[in-house]
Structure 1
């Protein structure tokens, strides 16, 4: 295969898969990650996020929230939503408190995209295994968000039916066939630039921190 054919194939894969360019910065330190760890009291579960173009219906990105007994994280391969207050290591986001989880979902839902949110309860052992695999998997190259997530899921007990795919919508449709999955869609009308939402969220967080320090 010639260079031109290879380049066209790569471009086609990126266009079809739709994952963002990886915007990961410098990995956080183990101390920062340990300090941010958040244990959610709810059931152990996995939540598959699929970002879908409102005009074309094509899938644009895939990520996976993992609520394990040890902590709750988001495996966000080649993702573009990054917060200074949320430590990251190899495409795994830590410290996913209810506020951060809500922001993460809403930041992806805007005028041009909506988010398909699919959740399934799993055993503590499966959730912990998913967390360990996510930590071992990253960082992920651009356009491989669905491929890396489907590969991870397929290795978990009870998820053997998941086949490797580069397409976010295909993975979501496979996930929907698992027993016990809940499925909802989130629509927002925010500006298309996610950087605006990120800046506003961080400004609110900084303001809340100042109020706490002054006892207000």
Structure 2
């Protein structure tokens, strides 16, 4: 029964799809696009939630520390203007963040962002863990995110789960969380969404 449930989970998490086989960006390019958002250090968990049944399809973690990146484990977001190394997207400017959310939000899904203000030390730990984690297997996006968060001081009580909305519910009960929901009514898939993104040169 457990084996059957595991296969059912993998089949259901469509947004945690096998990422396209593309070359990773060079260290030089990653360094060239480094961007930090103004304001405090933050951790933002993004959950892609079905508009039809409320179930989660994907989990990602945005870290704003010495630079802003998105840990997108087993994600399907691929854009030639957004450098990636082993499931980490670099150079997350406001335009890239808007494009990332827009690519995931459509008539069938919306994006829930849960943001926590953290110390520079907490952000540094999260960034180090994200950039040394390595690529994540298909359907393990939430497991990888909880595994990372549970190693960050102050988040050690985050419980491991394979289900995006279970992590979302955990985080909703934590003090200091700022939650935002993002909706669009586009048709198509995330591949269509990424193709429609226009980023500045």
Q: Classify the TM-score, shorter chain.
A: over 0.9
Q: Equivalent residue for 1:135?
A: 131
User: Which residue of 152, 170, 174 maps to 2:170?
Assistant: 174
Unaligned runs of 5+ in 1: 210-216
Give how far 1:175 is off. Answer: 1.1
Please say if 1:88 is aligned against 2:92: no
Question: Whole-Å Cα distance in 1 between the matches of residues 174 and 18 of structure 2?
Answer: 29
Partners of 2:93 and 2:80 lie apart in 1 by 14
Query: Unpaired segments of 5 or more residues in structure 2?
Result: none
Aligned to 2:117: 121
What TM-score does the superposition give when structure 2 sets the normalisation length?
0.93
Q: Calculate the TM-score normalised by the size of structure 1.
A: 0.87
CA change 1:158–1:18 in 2 (3 A) is: farther
The alignment of Structure 1 onto Structure 2 pairs a total of residues equal to 200
Decide which structure has the larger Cα Rg and report it.
1
Q: Distance in 2 between matches of 1:73 and 1:112?
A: 26
Query: Cα distance, 1:97 vs. partner?
Result: 0.3
More helix per residue: 1 or 2?
A: 1
After superposition, the CA RMSD in angstroms is 1.8
Compare 37-46 and 142-151 and name the one that shifted more.
37-46
Residue 196 of structure 1: CA displacement? Answer: 2.7
Question: Aligned residue for 2:93?
Answer: 97
Q: Which runs of 4+ in 1 moved over 3 A?
A: 15-19
- Once the two structures are TM-superposed, the CA of residue 73 in structure 1 deviates from its matched residue by 0.0
Distance 1:18 1:150 in 2: 19
Query: Counterparts of 1:104 and 1:19 in 2: how far apart (Å)?
Result: 13
Kindly indicate whether residue 50 of structure 2 is the aligned counterpart of residue 53 of structure 1. yes
